[in-house]
Amino acid sequence: MSEGVILALDQGTTSSRAMAIALDGSVVASAQEEFPQIFPQSGWVEHDPEAIWRTQRRTAEQTLERLGNRKVVAIGVTNQRETVVIWDRRTGDAIHNAIVWQDRRTAGRTRDLALKGNEGMVGDRTGLVLDPYFSASKIAWILDAVPGARERARRGELAAGTIDCFLIWRLTGGRVHATDATNASRTSLYDIRIGRWDADLCALFDVPMALLPEVKDSAADYGVSDIFGPRLPIRGVAGDQQAALVGQACFEAGEVKSTYGTGGFLILNTGAELKRSTSRLLGTIAYQCNGKPTYALEGSILSAGSTIQWLRDELKIIRDGAHAGELAKGIPDTDGVYLVPAFVGLGAPHWDSAARGAILGLQRGSTIAHIARAALESVAFQTAELLEAMAKDGVAPQRLRVDGGMARNDWLMKFMADILNIEVLRPRNTETTVLGAAILAAVGAGEFSSLNEAAALWKLDRKFEPDMALSDRSRQLAGWQNAIARVKTPG
């Protein structure tokens, strides 16, 4: 193992980050920058690809400037998943804003495909449900919306990909058009059973295969970037939630983690088995090394940290997440208030694109504190739904590893343990997404012989154990289910 560092690029939904991670897992230098969210219509969410690139490049440059004489041995990339860009192969310029994973504009298209009996085939090959959350229908929408785009795609002038793919193209000056298996598995175009783009799926969604990138292992050679001065090899790539699974050292079947960022994502390692859910959870690729995929079962919460951001930016009733936590701790309960954050619909296990958010149970004495606490509690309630779905699929974990910004909130993590009725384990380094990208790059660069060698980097910070009375837990979960029933669309 060398004394070098990994430059980990973490392109997220609301910000771009770069961290220099030493091979003992410590953070040597970092930088972060937010970029604007674009909401053209209700349920539509876009990003400016140039803002993504500009902020990601700038944070990388700032991190490198703060490194001193430490040598960068490789770059690792992790990214918001499902968000897609289509760009000109000659210029590298996007032909439309990126359509974000939260976007619901293609709900009608995916619903029509489901009504025509296609959900079984899609689920069998991809592990996914037919939902606008995934990339395929977004790619088709851009091709239809931008004049001449379909003809240009047929002529081979355009490229498409998730955000990792777009960044790799820019980092390598257009020399590499590639993605990893975890990101490919989120498109609805990739057959995760055999590991290749599927012609039938591309035809179903009307996406030309010529647009799509080469699919590689999560630890592999993604070319060399020279835009920062020295030539830096790109050796690790994974979608953010799979990168967090790696950063949480969940390398054994049955181990589970949940990341709380803009959304919330519960992923259970199922090893070599692609488990088929009967509860509308997702089968996906956890990571892929040496050509062999490790599979996972996943539940997706569409709004977690974004709910707190909404309280701050739109309602303007809190200063930040810490303020929300202070308000929550200051009262004994929500006094019957529930906040269902279905701003862009409901994710697993409901997959209801048309559902919209609501604050229920308000009384004359309800305060900002009640709403803030209800917003935080909604994250735990949604996680409980995912674990219940996993239990129906025959898996009942007894402990949960947590990470992401919201995991730093002690009050919320204790409430989580109480509502889930299992142990909640928080690592010392809650930035496991970045750590996972660094670990994959270190494996790809030969600094670690395998992922298992990196398991020693995981260190426990705190264990939260449940002690809530069963009657209180049952009452609160029943109230949540009543609230969910009020916002779900009929049928």
Which pLDDT score is estimated for 10? 96
Residue 333 lies in a domain: no
Question: Rounded to an integer, what distance in angstroms lies between the CA atom of residue 128 and that of residue 123?
Answer: 5
Which pLDDT score is estimated for 491? 60
Residue 156 lies in a domain: yes
Which pLDDT score is estimated for 178? 98
Residue 34 lies in a domain: yes
Q: At 33, which CATH number?
A: 3.30.420.40
- Return the half-sphere exposure (C-beta side, CA atoms, 13 A cut-off) of residue 61: 11
Residue 209 lies in a domain: yes
Which pLDDT score is estimated for 30? 94
- Residue 300, strand partner residues: 265
The DSSP annotation for 256-303 comes to EEEEESSSEEEEEEEET--PPPSSS-EEEEEEEETTEEEEEEEEEES-
Report which residue type is found at 476: Q
82 DSSP assignment: S
Which pLDDT score is estimated for 208? 95
Q: Report yes or no: 161 and 154 within 8 Å, Cβ to Cβ.
A: no
| Structural domain containing residue 179 | 5-239
Residue 122 lies in a domain: yes
Residue 141 lies in a domain: yes
- Return the half-sphere exposure (C-beta side, CA atoms, 13 A cut-off) of residue 113: 23
What would you measure as the largest C-alpha separation in the chain, in angstroms?
A: 64
> What domain count does the chain have?
1
Residue 363 lies in a domain: no
pLDDT below 50 — which residues of the chain? 1
Question: Rounded to an integer, what distance in angstroms lies between the CA atom of residue 118 and that of residue 188?
Answer: 12
Residue 358 lies in a domain: no
What three-state secondary structure class fits 455?
Answer: helix
CA angle 353, 196, 49 (to 5 degrees): 55
**The pTM is what?**
0.87
Which pLDDT score is estimated for 275? 84
Report which residue type is found at 371: I
Q: Which helix (H) or strand (E) holds 423?
A: strand 423-427
C-alpha distance from residue 344 to each of 258, 296, 307 (Å): 20, 25, 11
In angstroms, how far is the first alpha carbon of the chain from the final one? 56
Which pLDDT score is estimated for 171? 97
Question: Rounded to an integer, what distance in angstroms lies between the CA atom of residue 11 and that of residue 34?
Answer: 10
Neighbours of 212 (CB within 10 A): 21
25 Cβ contact list (under 8 Å, min separation 6): 429, 435, 438, 457
